[in-house]
Amino acid sequence: MGNEAELRKEIIEAGRRLYEKDFVASNDGNISVRLNDRELLITPTGVSKGFMTPDQILKVDYDGNLISGFMKPTSEMKMHLAVFHCRNDVQAIVHAHPPTATGFAVAGESLDKISLPEVVYNLGQIRLSEYATPTTEEVPASVAKHITCSDAVLLANHGAITVGSNVMDAYYKMETLEAVARITLVARTLGNENVLSEEQKQVLYTIREKMGKPVFTEAECGTCSLPKEDVASAVEQTAGKLNIGSKEIDVIVDTILDYIKSS
């Protein structure tokens, strides 16, 4: 959260760097940042991230409603909203297609074997999500399953997403992710990916915790509750088969959400 004008400049700078490093092509990629507890800034669709202007950055609320701006928000906005919903500590999100990391995602190859201390220090760990059709409800659901235990997620057959304490922090994590992917590719090509031992990783996680960064555990993975609209969609599909009315649906949705919050 911060000065709106400065945040717009940070989004533009991160977009420029993504484009210059070939982490995005054409109009690919998207960036978002929390403005306050009611609003966020997000990039538009159909615009090269290397050539954005401050007035093109859109302001929306956490339900995805446009507050200000003359363009249409990125088609992946629901993914951004799902991440903000799952991670209160996350202030900014970067989605891009860095070639090597995306190559791992396309091949269905994970980067979960930790062989570099930088992974623990900067990302915690790297997750690989299941395939989800871009722009659909499948994407936020898939990302939500993994973002609770990582600051970097490979999106199967799609790209990658990184999160951070500010826009540039999220961007730098994308740089780290791509660097790790390149080094891992070379190591595996040479036939020996020297993975750190459990003891070595625990020492690194202890250092990460002392740095004030979240330490993720497998028990926390997938613990994010679904946004209300996703719960409602699932209930409506079932209700249609059981011939349940709209008023009953609202009651069921609210009951489910109350249970999630209290559990």
State pLDDT tens for residues 44-86.
999 999 999 999 999 999 999 999 999 999 999 999 999 999 9
Alpha carbon separation from 245 to 236, 238, 239, 248 (Å, rounded): 9, 11, 8, 5
SS3 assignment, position 88: coil
pTM of the model: 0.83
Helices 99-107 and 167-190 pack at an angle, to 10 degrees, of 60
Active site residue: 4, 76, 130, 175, which one?
Answer: 76
Task: Identify the residue whose tokens are 């990658």.
Answer: 160
Determine the pLDDT at residue 173. Answer: 98
Fold entry, domain 4-220 = L-fuculose-1-phosphate Aldolase (3.40.225)
Reply yes or no on whether 178 is catalytic: no
Distance CA 34, CA 90 (A): 8
Q: Where are the domains of the chain?
A: 4-220, 228-262
Distance CA 32, CA 62 (A): 12
Eight-state DSSP code of residue 133: -
First-last CA distance in the chain: 29
Q: Return the minimum-mean-pLDDT range out of 1-15, 167-181, 238-252.
A: 238-252
State pLDDT tens for residues 30-51.
999 999 999 999 999 999 999 9
Alpha carbon separation from 71 to 42, 47, 53, 67, 244 (Å, rounded): 11, 10, 12, 11, 39
SS3 assignment, position 30: strand
Distance CA 166, CA 11 (A): 10
